[in-house]
Amino acid sequence: MDIMVIARCMIKLFIVLVLGFVLYRFDIIDGRTSKKLSSMVVKVTAPLWIISTALSASTENRLGVLVLFGAGILMYVGFILFAGFVTWIFRVNPKDRPLYECMLVFSNNSFMGFPVLQSVLGDASVFYSSMLHFSFNIFIYTYAVYCFEKAAMSTAAAGGGIEGAAAVGVKAADVNIMGNIAGKTESKTKKQKIKELVHALVTPGFILILLALIIFVAGIRDDGVIYETCYMIGNVTSVLSMLVLGATFAQYPVKESLSDIRSYGFAIIRLLVIPMVTLLVCRLIGVNDYYTSIATITNGMPVASMVVMMANEHNADTRIVTRNIVVTTALSLVTIPLVVALLQVF
């Protein structure tokens, strides 16, 4: 892995991100367009990119991919335990603890991870990364929902109902909803909960990624029209992802976020400590260099933008999440090359 290659990659990604920021400020991209582009990346272009890599990947290590799939589940369970330990050690305010735990668990391993992996390790690494982080989709709609509902209840309780909710920008009409989250959850039947979870999980993107796994395991290969079409469509993922991120940042209070000292402390853990722990664990259990690099690099990505969307949907305090997304994304332009350099040394 060439440090100059990753440095050039980060510079290019940063330029596209800035372009997205500028396009939003000049009203060429608005909030609705950004949301639609984001949906297209998640549901269409990124999954088709993964399918194209599955169609061209070597079939020699099918068992290894299934092991990678299972290891991803254990990895996310480990993240949850690690996040709980970190927030306990640093005595994070109980009201904010669920938010910080969620931000430690979920990284931007697709929007930023895929372009970086492609430049450093090649197209095939995108497929292997999608298998490793397949559990992201499961945990974001289970564990993350639990975290944000817990945070929303804490916010409402700490602020004394309507006043506390208003302090974080929650509509007064939603206060009763927050105050009764637990009651409503308990009143739901098991069948309703399962139906809601399945509806959240079974998206076009989820189905296409599952199809990529089936294609790989079945040994289906194609270097003709189907592969070329999937690759052509999927290849726009990097540019669209960074444009969307830039447009999203234009909607955030960037100056306020970058002046928050606490976010920098969190960023050290998110961007450096977690990938270092990942590297250490991989070395201890004897994971090969290729898979170790994929896991370490993707686990060193900034906070996933999906986290702020989930926080907003569940009436949690989005200000904390927003600040940390901005800071970790900005610093990742420096820390990702450092993580790659670390892989070369160890």
Better-predicted residue by pLDDT, 311 or 66: 66
- Report the share of the chain in percent with pLDDT over 70: 87
pLDDT of 334 above 90 = yes
State how far the Cα of 346 lies from the Cα of 71, in Å rounded to an integer: 21
Whether the pLDDT of residue 344 is over 80: the answer is yes
State the sign of the Cα–Cα–Cα–Cα dihedral 288, 55, 52, 46: negative
Give the per-residue pLDDT at 171. Answer: 42
Q: pLDDT of 42-69, one tens digit each?
A: 889 988 998 998 888 777 777 888 899 9
Instruction: Report the alpha-carbon distance of residue 170 to residue 296 in Å, rounded.
Output: 37
Provide the domain limits for residue 13: 3-345
Q: Which of 324, 292, 339, 296 is nearest to 104 (CA)?
A: 324
Question: Cα–Cα distance between 116 and 212 in angstroms, integer?
Answer: 20
Tens-place pLDDT, residues 182-230? 444 445 566 776 777 677 667 777 788 888 888 888 888 888 899 999 9
Do the beta carbons of residue 30 and residue 208 sit within 8 Å? Answer: no
Q: What pTM was estimated for this model as a whole?
A: 0.82
d(CA 88, CA 297): 26
pLDDT of residue 73: 95
Question: Could you tell me which residue, 175 or 47, shows the higher pLDDT?
Answer: 47
Average pLDDT, integer, range 170-179: 40
CATH number at residue 154: 1.20.1530
pLDDT in tens, 102-134: 999 999 998 889 888 988 898 889 999 999 999
Q: In this structure, what DSSP letter does residue 174 have? A: G
Mean of the per-residue pLDDT values for the chain?
84
- Tell me how crowded residue 172 is: count the other CB atoms within 10 A of its CB: 11
Helices and strands, number each (H, E), in the chain: 22, 0
Q: Is the pLDDT of residue 284 over 70?
A: yes
How far is residue 51's CA from residue 330's CA, in Å, rounded to a whole number? 30
Q: What is the pLDDT of residues 266-277, one digit of tens each?
A: 999 999 999 999
Q: What pLDDT sits at residue 193?
A: 66
pLDDT digits (tens, 9 = 90+) for 71-104: 999 999 999 999 999 999 999 988 888 899 999 9
pLDDT in the model for residue 110: 85
Q: Which residue has the tokens 């993240």?
A: 79
The closest of 218, 94, 86, 196 to 147, measured between CA atoms, is 94
Do residues 134 and 207 lie in contact, with contact meaning Cβ atoms separated by under 8 Å?
A: no
CA angle 148, 152, 158 (to 5 degrees): 140
Q: What angle do CA 304, 306, 309 make, to 5 degrees?
A: 135
Q: Rounded distance, CA 7 to CA 257, Å?
A: 25
Q: How far is CA 25 from the centre of its chain?
A: 25
Q: What domain count does the chain have?
A: 1
User: Is residue 107 helix, strand or coil?
Assistant: strand
Query: Which of 269, 273, 110 is closest to 281 using CA atoms?
Result: 273
Q: Are 20 and 250 in contact (CB under 8 A)?
A: yes
Block residue for tokens 């608005």: 30
What is the residue whose two structure tokens read 């996040």?
83
- Identify the pLDDT of residue 173: 40
Closest CA to 134 of 230, 81, 181, 65: 65
